[in-house]
């Protein structure tokens, strides 16, 4: 039974690997050439399933810490295993989503077949930043109540929402999701946020005091309303709200209490 938290952590890795298969082997064409030589993007549905499995990996990543605390099992092995699984599920997999979206952005152009693979390689900046963030978290004693830099799961969920917004074309944002300049800017911004020294809020409740938890309740309320009105577009909206709120009050709450380090890196 002591290995149960580690088994749950490995399930995180399994979901990440399944997501990777869905993203890299979509099984459908992602570009169609009509009689007028116009290229149309056809988002393979399996990439959307890749996004779904990232969400499942994030859920399991939350549960493994809960199970460990419930069973009062805390080991260095579990900590390292958690980070290794997170590198795949929340680093490599989102990086491949960005890689595929960049490919789609260039497939919209008449000269698509002449595009160099170098144009897609900036997507690899995301997994590199995620790996750096996770390694930094493991040796950083400052992250006792809040986080230093954006944790990898929220960053990965933001990227995972892009194919869903594209697939359902919510609010007419499909074109933006395959705009290469938007994607390049997003890659740089999220990667920088992960490795930055910006104090970020932890979303886990360690005490019942409202004064210590009101930012978390505020985020929960905003998330609920955003899901109702924005659907999948709620993910980037809530992510932006989380970052802005952390910039405003994150430093005070990160230093305002002690406790064990958060398990989400």
Q: How, if at all, do strands 199-200 and 147-148 pair?
A: antiparallel
Tens of pLDDT, residues 51-75? 999 999 999 988 877 676 677 667 7
Q: Is residue 259 part of a domain?
A: no
Of residues 200 and 35, more confidently modeled: 200
Nearest to 3 by CA among 60, 57, 73: 73
Average of per-residue pLDDT across 23-28: 71
Exposed (0-12), middle (13-18) or buried (19+): which is 63, by Cβ within 10 Å? middle
Tens of pLDDT, residues 154-203? 999 999 999 999 989 889 999 999 999 999 999 999 999 999 989 998 87
Is the Cβ–Cβ distance between 10 and 16 less than 8 Å? no
Tens of pLDDT, residues 136-157? 888 877 665 678 899 999 999 9
Domain containing 162 — which CATH number? 1.20.120
Of the chain, the percentage scoring pLDDT greater than 70 comes to 80
Q: Is residue 191 part of a domain?
A: yes
Model pLDDT, residue 265: 72
Tens of pLDDT, residues 228-249? 999 999 999 999 999 999 999 8
Q: Is residue 26 part of a domain?
A: yes
Indicate the average pLDDT of the chain. Answer: 84
Average of per-residue pLDDT across 208-226: 85
Phi, psi (rounded to 5 degrees) for 122: -55, -20
Model pLDDT, residue 261: 42
How far apart CA 98 and CA 94 sit, in angstroms, is 6
Q: Is residue 254 part of a domain?
A: no
Q: Is residue 148 part of a domain?
A: yes
Q: Is residue 251 part of a domain?
A: no
Model pLDDT, residue 206: 64
Q: Is residue 34 part of a domain?
A: yes
Q: Is residue 109 part of a domain?
A: yes
Tens of pLDDT, residues 77-91? 877 888 899 999 999
Average of per-residue pLDDT across 117-145: 87
For the chain, what is the domain count?
1
| 160 membership: H or E segment, kind and range | helix 152-168
Report whether pLDDT(260) > 50. no
Per the structure, the complete domain to which residue 84 belongs is given by 4-200
């Amino acid at each position: 039974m002591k290995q149960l938290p580690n088994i749950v952590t490995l399930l995180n890795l399994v979901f990440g690997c399944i997501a990777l298969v869905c993203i890299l082997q979509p099984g459908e064409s992602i570009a169609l050439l009509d009689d007028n030589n116009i290229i149309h993007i056809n988002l393979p549905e399996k990439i959307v399933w890749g996004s779904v499995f990232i969400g499942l990996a994030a859920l399991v990543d939350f549960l493994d810490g809960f199970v460990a605390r419930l069973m009062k099992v805390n080991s260095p092995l579990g900590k390292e295993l958690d980070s290794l699984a997170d590198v795949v599920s929340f680093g490599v997999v989102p990086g491949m989503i960005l890689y595929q979206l960049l490919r789609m952005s260039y497939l919209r152009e008449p000269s698509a077949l002449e595009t160099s693979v170098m144009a897609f390689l900036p997507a690899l900046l995301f997994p590199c930043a995620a790996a750096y963030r996770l390694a930094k978290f493991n040796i950083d004693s400052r992250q006792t109540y809040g986080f230093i830099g954006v944790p990898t799961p929220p960053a990965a969920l933001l990227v995972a929402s892009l194919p869903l917004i594209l697939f359902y074309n919510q609010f007419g944002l499909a074109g933006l999701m395959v705009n290469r300049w938007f994607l390049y800017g997003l890659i740089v911004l999220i990667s920088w946020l992960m490795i930055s020294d910006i104090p970020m809020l932890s979303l886990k409740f360690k005490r019942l005091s409202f004064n210590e938890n009101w930012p978390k309740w505020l985020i929960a309320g905003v998330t609920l309303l955003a899901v109702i009105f924005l659907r999948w577009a709620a993910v980037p909206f809530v992510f932006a709200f989380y970052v802005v709120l952390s910039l405003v009050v994150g430093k005070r709450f990160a230093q305002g209490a002690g406790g064990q380090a958060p398990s989400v890196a």
